[in-house]
Amino acid sequence: MTLVSEPESFLQVRRSQPRAARGSVSSSAVKSRVYVAMLAFACVYVAIAGRLVMLAQMEEAPSRAFISAQDSVSASRPDLIDRNGEILATDIKTASLYAEPRRVIDVDEAVEGLIRVLPELDEALVRRRLESGTGFVWLKREMTPQQAKKIHNLGLPGVGFLSENQRFYPGGPTAGHIVGSVNVDNQGLAGIEKYIDGEWLADLQSLGFTSDRSMEPVRLSVDLRVQHVVRDELVKAMERYKAIAAAGIVLDAKTGEVVAMSSLPDYDPNDRSQALEKDRLNRATGGVFEMGSVFKTFTTAMALDSGAVSINDSFDATRPIRAGGRTISDFHGKNRILSVPEIFIYSSNIGTAKMMLATGISRQREFFERLHLTKRLKTELPENAAPLLPPKWNELAAMTISFGHGISVTPMQTAVAAAALVNGGKLLPPTFVPRSPADVQAVERQVISPEVSRIMRYLFRLNVLSGSGRKADVPGYVVGGKTGTAEKIENGRYVDNKRRNSFLSAFPMDDPRYVVLVVIDEPKREREGTGVTAGWNAAPMVGAIVRRAAPMLGVMPRFGKGDEPIEISY
């Protein structure tokens, strides 16, 4: 059998099969590679698309400067409250405007819009900040809600708001010198605000423990009602006597707590720029003055406590004293021998100087040091001035110091020393925070005997009943005190038509609970026929404060008992 493999016809063409060349790639392999490449490109595109979608959904990462600013402005401060729980200072939320210059698209448009809403901004400064290319700049802190709304409606890219804590003082200037103020970053600048920063708040802030957190309020010893009374009477007195300044203090004589303290002109802590004006100095603790005849209180107590002088002694005030080329005379001289109580109520310079001489210069200086009148007094407030002492504490200096010239102290020092003279003889450092009985016992220091303190209470009351302090009397409240009229010094010389008057008082004098001191600077005559000494202006100021504040402090008027001077023979 034969196999035929040739075409059956010449018309048939025998198709030759392609023969694979050595080293070539088959078509199926090429197709596979194409599919792999296409898959790879597809995966890349899917990854890129996924990443873009993810980035679009992510929030924008804040810059480091933004985070720092946010932490800073969110720091909280504790409320300050008075002894009855009334708020003196608190935090409120406010908006502040910032920009991220790198994200600002059109600087011209942004500047134009910002200046239109906030014309108080410096246009050149705003432009420089927006063109700086930095990550974060402040444009305006503490905006009003209306301003924030207008800026928001502009829709400026790269411009935003941060919510921050702003300090608010509901009472305005009522207790401005006590509470102090804070800067734009909520850090204490003065008063109790600065005190609590130094004690503990600054450390907590630095550790980040105060960011938007509520804290226990800080309670002060101040009574806001009495504080208002004191400030109100000072304002009225400045208007009535056309004075240039005034200060007033109410001090708890048994605890050393400051119940009220005001100094005019004062400032509103809500407008911190006012605090920089020099005339708004806190005169109660930051100013030193010659207190004039008020110092005769300390000289009399010194002489009695030394034992060199007794309440029954008398001194010749017939003629002036010549010492060191100076003449010491009396303003309203009696020109006769005066008893110790008469020296006090007639405010005799001659008699007081002679009591000092009987006691001795060294004892005088030691006694004033004992009362803390020769050193800076420390309180919670940063504003405490150091006293001005004579360069040489010789005999002439000692005599003038005895009646309040040649030594300058703060009104707070004067009030604190006076409290020791009437409370049984115990000196208590002043404080603006509440003090418990145990705290009082821990800090009190006996500086004069209880018997001398009793005599001083008698002299205080006697001066209001029969001396220069009659206009301070308030029926039912047994007020006692001592006037002080000091000529002011200009260019190294005393000026007889410019005075700084004061009245140092306490009530009720049978068991003094409160010391009240007022100082009025350059008072004028209220009307024709009236005087300009402390008995005419400072004494009635104290009377008005006691009349209004005593019921608030729980001191009720008493009639028929305790309103007469203590019986002492002399």
Active site residue 293: yes
Q: Where are the alpha helices (DSSP H) in 377-448?
A: 395-402, 411-422, 437-443
DSSP one-letter code for 189: E
Distance (Å) of CA 376 to CA 132, 286, 287, 373, 383:
49, 10, 11, 8, 11
499, β-bridge pairs: 487
Residue 352 DSSP SS3:
helix
Beta strands in 186-244 (DSSP E): 188-190, 218-219
Torsion over CA: 455, 456, 457, 459 (sign): positive
Which residue in 511, 502, 512, 344 sits closest to 419, CA to CA?
A: 512
Phi, psi for 22 (deg, rounded to 5): -65, 130
Burial of 293 (0-12, 13-18, 19+ CB in 10 A): buried
Identify the three-state secondary structure at position 262. strand
Pairing relation of β-strands 188-190 and 181-182? antiparallel
DSSP state of 231: H
Whole-Å CA distances, 163 to 63, 98, 114, 160, 167? 17, 11, 19, 10, 13
Owner of token pair 């001066």: 463
| Annotated active-site residue in 181, 221, 293, 408 | 293
| CA–CA dist 518, 543 (Å, integer) | 10
- Tokens 């708890």 label which residue? 252
Contact 66, 99 (CB under 8 A): no
The rounded distance, in Å, linking the Cα atoms of 396 and 379 is 32
Contact 484, 292 (CB under 8 A): yes
The separation between the first and the last C-alpha atoms of the chain, rounded to the nearest angstrom, is: 176
Q: Please, which residues have CB within 8 angstroms of residue 42's CB and are 6 or more apart in sequence?
A: none
Phi, psi of 209 (to 5 degrees): -90, 5
Residues 6+ apart with CB under 8 A from 176: 169, 191, 266, 267, 268, 269, 275
| Counts for the chain of helices (H) and strands (E), in that order | 19, 18
Q: What is the DSSP letter of 104?
A: -
* Rounded Cα gap, residues 201 and 184, in angstroms: 16
**Phi then psi dihedrals of residue 482, to 5 deg:** -135, 135
- List active site positions: 293
